[in-house]
Amino acid sequence: MVKFTAEHEIFRRTVREFVEKEINPYADEWEAAGTFPAHELFKKAAKLGLLGVEYDPAYGGGGADHWYTVILGEELGRADCGGVPMAITVQTDMATPALAKWGSHELKKQYLEPALKGEMVASIAVTEPDAGSDVASIKTFARRDGDEYVINGSKIYITNGTQADFLTLLARTSPEGGYRGMSLIIVPTDRPGFRVARKLRKLGNHSSDTAELVLEDVRVPVTNRIGEEGQGFYLQMQQFQKERLIAVYTAIGGMRRAIERTVAYLRERKAFGGPLLSMQYIQYTLAELIVEIESLRQLAYAAAEGVVAGEDVTRLATMAKFKAGRLVRRVADTCLQFHGGLGYMEEMWTARYFRDSRLLGIGGGADEVMLRVLTRTEGLEA
């Protein structure tokens, strides 16, 4: 059983207060607006050290252990909306891990440091109209021209896309097909030829802006490449592990809060001569969900222990991401159901949570992609 230290618990309170004071009071407004002030909020988060928990203090990171990231995710997940936590974790654990691990010193000074200060907003740009789960099919091409890459292509479903100052972009840098010939490149969005084609409307996570981006002859220095040319796919695959884990930690925090809120409601809500919580069907259903959430939490903690030990956690992270994607839908559905007609009302948290919960089984690697990975890790290939 994981024992968090007193320092971990102090950090948990810091994140919880940040969520309660800096996110929750504005969640309704940002959901209605379809966006949130990323630069403003990220600066506040950065001041508390929330944007660079594990990163090198030389670039403004906290140099903390991975359990602090677990806590960050769990506590952000307790926010009144899914969109803002998603936007923050894109900045911290999806768009920057490869830059921090394999980027050059100059590149980290130029982009990682301002990102950790909240002065720059980052997006991870992998998905394209014709390539989502099938990452090997991406077509965006970065052609070498002297000391520059000339980039052409489009990216879609990009979180923070309308506000981003730079993209961590996966593009082809040589004509080989499949997994080879791709590179991860930092693309500042103030370059000529870059444009936000449109802001996308989504089922949920309304407070987070999502965009389709177009790159037409966008020139960036070759030194903006992260790691070696042609290694992009492999670097991105490793970066995906961070993405999946933070998504799982966030989902766990969200589910635990959803159950807490539902139990509190059912304790008060009287029907058939007593509180609804006294109904055995309700008690058993909730108990079963709590078992599922706790099982997932322990699986996630096992993966976190692997991260701390410096191990490859692909297997456990993939299992946890799959389990979380499925479970969060069940939890959101059950919580809504147990609130009855009220739960279906837009004024209740259950309606938003139900919408927001649907994304986890798709984003960061769909359930089916997780199963496909597990077929390999579990030796199920015939």
**Residue carrying the six token digits 């009071």:** 25
Question: Contact between 97 and another protein (CB under 8 A)?
Answer: no
In the complex with another protein, the residue whose CB is nearer, 9 or 311, is 9
Please identify which residue in 5, 137, 223, 298 interacts with another protein, judged by CB under 8 A: 5
**Residue carrying the six token digits 């938003």:** 352
Question: Contact between 1 and another protein (CB under 8 A)?
Answer: no
Residue type for 25, please?
Answer: P
* Smallest distance, another protein to C-beta of residue 53, A: 6
- Distances 214 to 70, 142, 267, 356 between C-alpha atoms, Å: 34, 13, 51, 26
Question: Contact between 378 and another protein (CB under 8 A)?
Answer: no
Name the nearest CA neighbour of 115 among 75, 160, 145.
160
* Smallest distance, another protein to C-beta of residue 230, A: 36
Name the nearest CA neighbour of 68 among 2, 159, 120, 115.
2
Question: Contact between 90 and another protein (CB under 8 A)?
Answer: no
Residues counted in the chain = 382
Active site residue 292: no
Name the nearest CA neighbour of 245 among 54, 381, 61.
54
* Smallest distance, another protein to C-beta of residue 7, A: 5
Question: Contact between 298 and another protein (CB under 8 A)?
Answer: no
* Smallest distance, another protein to C-beta of residue 244, A: 23
- Interface residues for another protein in 243-272 (CB under 8 A)? 264, 267
Question: Contact between 50 and another protein (CB under 8 A)?
Answer: yes
| Cα 140 from Cα 98, distance rounded (Å) | 19
* Smallest distance, another protein to C-beta of residue 51, A: 10
**Residue carrying the six token digits 């806590």:** 71
From start to end of the chain, where are the E strands?
122-125, 141-145, 148-159, 166-172, 182-188, 194-199, 210-221, 225-226, 270-271, 274-275
Which one from 17, 243, 305, 368 is the annotated catalytic residue? 243
In the complex with another protein, the residue whose CB is nearer, 17 or 119, is 17
Q: Which residues bind another protein (CB under 8 A)?
A: 5-7, 9-11, 13-14, 17-18, 47-50, 53, 57, 62-64, 68, 264, 267
| Residues noted as catalytic | 243
